[in-house]
Amino acid sequence: MTIRAILTLFFFVIVAELVSLAIIIFLMISGQQDLATTEKRRYQAFRIADELRQSSDDLTRMARLYVVTADPIFEEYFRDILAIRNGLQPRPPNYDRIYWDLAVASRERPKHDGVPESLKQRMADLDLSPEELALLVEAQSNSDALVSLENTAMNAVKVQLAQGSQTETETRPSNSELAHSLIFGKEYHAAKASIMKPLDAFLLALSKRMNTSVFQARKALQRNAMTAALLVALTVLTFAAMAMAIGRRVIRPVGALVKQSNAIARGDYGYQVSPGADDELGILARAFNRMSQAVELDISRRTEAESALRESQQELRNSQHLIETILDQMPAHIFLRDTDGRFLLVNSRYEEIYDVDRNDIIGKTIEEVLPKAEAEFFRARDKESIETGRIVEHEIQRNLAGDERVFVSSKFPIRGNGDAVKLIGGVSFEITNLRRSEQIRLRQSKKLEMIGQMTGSIAHDFNNVMTVLSCNIPLLNSQRVSTDKRNELIKDCTEAVGMASNLTKRLMAIARKEPLDKTRVDLNDLLEDLADFLKSSVGQSATIEFSQHEAPLPVYVDTVLVEMALLNLVLNSRDAMPEGGLITVATDVAAVDSATQANWGQTHTGPYAILQVMDTGAGMTSEVKDKIFEVFFTTKEKGKGTGLGLSAVQDLAKESGGFIQIDSEPGQGATVKVFIPLQDVD
């Protein structure tokens, strides 16, 4: 017999036993409920009989009390008892307990808050035998007959009370004696006994029948309990037999198979299991034996294949190492990314340039490795190469250890099966030295061009100085000028000559590459020294005002650059206001945070001094602002400017480690702020 057949047999046997047990338990519960119902009916029947007896006794007592005392309350109680028994009046709550004794003591009438229910109706509702019901009906009929006798006795007393106006000796003795003889005589007691006899017979008949029913119900419960115990024992034996069968037919063979599996796991493929019975596990044991033999054969073949594979893998690793060595030795940084921008390969030069570790970036996207701006730029170039399918070239500028380096990068698509682009490769070579050589040649050519253009236009810058001299010298010859004013004019002329000398030095520095002369100065003092000279330079065509920060502003600058930059800014503001206007030159302090640093590039965080020139002139368009710092760019007519003015302002910011901020709109004037790093203040 197969294991499945054995388990199926046990299953159906256990199910049959459990179903039989459930049926027996149901019969036990049903028998218990029937027994409880029988007990309840017996109790209710006894209560009905007792209430019939009690109501008869209560009627007798109320009638006798009325006959003796003539108190109308007892007649009312008598009528209430009779009305409640006949269902003409609601039964008060707790009526089945000691009721009328308490009512007589308290002299209270019953409350009509119960449910009207006659004694006869309650008898009929009980599941009584015809004989038992007849006995109860007989007892109540006899009680009703006794009520008539009690009514007669009470009426005699009432007649006596109605004749109270006559002589007592003539009327009362006869009616009183009649009432007493009716209520206390032999006839009354005989009638009372006629009530109790059928009640006693009822109780005997009821007890006999109920005792028989209770006995039969309890006997049935005992039978069902014994049957349930036998079924439980049989079920336990069935489970035990099933456990023994499973142990012999399942657990032992499975244990043998587990041992064989452990032997196979240890590499002992010669371990064999006895198939045993011709069942499912026997078939499985034979399959295990065949599998063990097949695995032993397969392992020998796999060992040979793995040896060959290891040799191939070693050759592959050697080739891969050779390729990686070649890539790492190349004087270019190389990368390989998929179309989602994830790095698949980088060489050591790439790690050096971007300050990353290949183990940290392989598998990551451009956005996870590089700053946002660079990542967006490279992502756009990758997209262009993927969409066009062509090589895309572009330049890259990176600051390495404070040195600006330039690279030219070529990105090329790598196609897979189906001609679709799968990967993006890139090779970047450094061209910093080449670019610097080009810039040097360009700078020299610009200088030659500048020197050639100075012939016709440098006079404009010197004219700014000569304006001061031409305005002040005639006044010096005037006899009406006071000594103080004359000294002031001489000072202005001296400063103008000094400015001309400084302009000459700056031009010579441009032509001959003279180094800058940086010194530590207070920007407020420098502005104060230049104030009168700047006023004279502006002349009467515009109004110039000065505002200084209240604290010293120590900076490290070339004073010639500051003077030239400030003079050019003021004169440009004057020329932007041909109809006149206001020029404001001011100094201030600002703190540059990381956000400002990111916006303005090569600046450090911390306090900065601000040299600011504002005017109310015509303002600038965005196109002019984009070109304003280019060498030789000017918006003035030919011969009125060299285009070196604002270039000198940019030189001031660059050489002092600061930056320039310009705020201007057409028709809104212009504000130029030169930010210069503050030195330590004592």
Distances from the Cα of 490 to the Cα of 374, 513, 539, 551, 566, angstroms? 58, 33, 16, 31, 22
In angstroms, rounded to a whole number, what is the distance separating the alpha carbons of residues 284 and 256? 11
Q: Which of 225, 177, 183 is nearest to 61 (CA)?
A: 183
Most confident of 265-269, 453-457, 514-518: 265-269
Q: Are 316 and 304 in contact (CB under 8 A)?
A: no
For residue range 300-309, what is the model confidence (pLDDT) as tens digits? 788 888 888 8
pLDDT score, position 464: 63
The model's confidence at residue 522, banded by pLDDT at 50, 70 and 90, is very high
List of residues 6+ apart from 663 with CB closer than 8 A = 670, 671, 673
User: Lowest-confidence range among 125-134, 173-182, 392-401, 592-601?
Assistant: 592-601
- Burial of 645 from C-beta contacts in 10 A (0-12 / 13-18 / 19+): buried
For residue range 168-194, what is the model confidence (pLDDT) as tens digits? 444 444 577 788 888 888 888 888 888
User: Residue 83 pLDDT more than 90?
Assistant: no
The model's confidence at residue 454, banded by pLDDT at 50, 70 and 90, is very low
Helix (H) or strand (E) holding 672: strand 670-677
Query: What phi, psi does 333 have (nearest 5°)?
Result: -95, 130
In angstroms, rounded to a whole number, what is the distance separating the alpha carbons of residues 187 and 148? 13
List of residues 6+ apart from 341 with CB closer than 8 A = 365, 366, 367, 379, 382
- Burial of 31 from C-beta contacts in 10 A (0-12 / 13-18 / 19+): buried
The amino acid sitting at 535 is: K
User: Residue 662 pLDDT more than 80?
Assistant: yes
For residue range 194-229, what is the model confidence (pLDDT) as tens digits? 888 888 888 888 888 888 878 888 888 888 888 989
pLDDT score, position 87: 83
pLDDT score, position 642: 46
In angstroms, rounded to a whole number, what is the distance separating the alpha carbons of residues 579 and 158? 141
User: Lowest-confidence range among 244-258, 422-436, 636-650?
Assistant: 636-650
For residue range 266-314, what is the model confidence (pLDDT) as tens digits? 777 777 777 766 777 778 777 777 777 777 777 878 888 888 888 878 8
Residue 672, token pair as written in the block? 């130029």
Q: How far is CA 476 from the centre of its chain?
A: 84
pLDDT score, position 583: 92
The model's confidence at residue 252, banded by pLDDT at 50, 70 and 90, is confident
Strands 606-615 and 670-677: antiparallel
Alpha helices for 330-431 (secondary structure H):
348-354, 358-361, 366-369, 372-388
The model's confidence at residue 518, banded by pLDDT at 50, 70 and 90, is confident
Residue 484, token pair as written in the block? 């103080």
DSSP code of residue 678: P
pLDDT score, position 635: 63
The model's confidence at residue 548, banded by pLDDT at 50, 70 and 90, is very high
In angstroms, rounded to a whole number, what is the distance separating the alpha carbons of residues 600 and 624? 19
pLDDT score, position 513: 47
Mean of pLDDT over the chain: 79
In angstroms, rounded to a whole number, what is the distance separating the alpha carbons of residues 382 and 362? 17
In angstroms, rounded to a whole number, what is the distance separating the alpha carbons of residues 176 and 160? 7
pLDDT score, position 511: 54
Q: Are 564 and 571 in contact (CB under 8 A)?
A: no
List of residues 6+ apart from 267 with CB closer than 8 A = none
Place of tokens 């008598």: 78
For residue range 599-643, what is the model confidence (pLDDT) as tens digits? 655 556 788 999 999 998 888 887 777 767 665 556 665 545 544
In angstroms, rounded to a whole number, what is the distance separating the alpha carbons of residues 561 and 567? 10
CA angle 111, 113, 114 (to 5 degrees): 110
DSSP 415-478: E-GGG-EEEEEEEEEE-HHHHHHHHHHHHHHHHHHHHHHHHHHHHHHHHHHHHHHHHHHHHHH-
Residue 583, token pair as written in the block? 């020029």
CA angle 283, 289, 295 (to 5 degrees): 130
In angstroms, rounded to a whole number, what is the distance separating the alpha carbons of residues 487 and 168? 165
SS3 613: strand
User: Residue 485 pLDDT more than 80?
Assistant: no
471 compared with 332, residue with greater pLDDT:
332
Distances from the Cα of 20 to the Cα of 13, 27, 236, 239, 345, angstroms? 11, 11, 14, 16, 76
For residue range 363-384, what is the model confidence (pLDDT) as tens digits? 889 888 888 888 888 888 888 8
pLDDT score, position 374: 83
Q: Are 343 and 337 in contact (CB under 8 A)?
A: yes
List of residues 6+ apart from 349 with CB closer than 8 A = 328, 330, 331, 332, 333, 334
pLDDT score, position 547: 92
Mean pLDDT of 380-393: 87
In angstroms, rounded to a whole number, what is the distance separating the alpha carbons of residues 655 and 517? 11
For residue range 128-172, what is the model confidence (pLDDT) as tens digits? 888 888 888 888 888 888 888 888 888 888 877 776 544 444 444
pLDDT score, position 331: 81
Tabulate helix, strand, coil % of the chain (nearest 5): 65, 15, 20
For residue range 14-40, what is the model confidence (pLDDT) as tens digits? 899 899 889 988 888 887 887 788 778
User: Residue 491 pLDDT more than 50?
Assistant: yes
For the chain, give the percent of residues with pLDDT over 70. Answer: 83
254 compared with 443, residue with greater pLDDT:
254
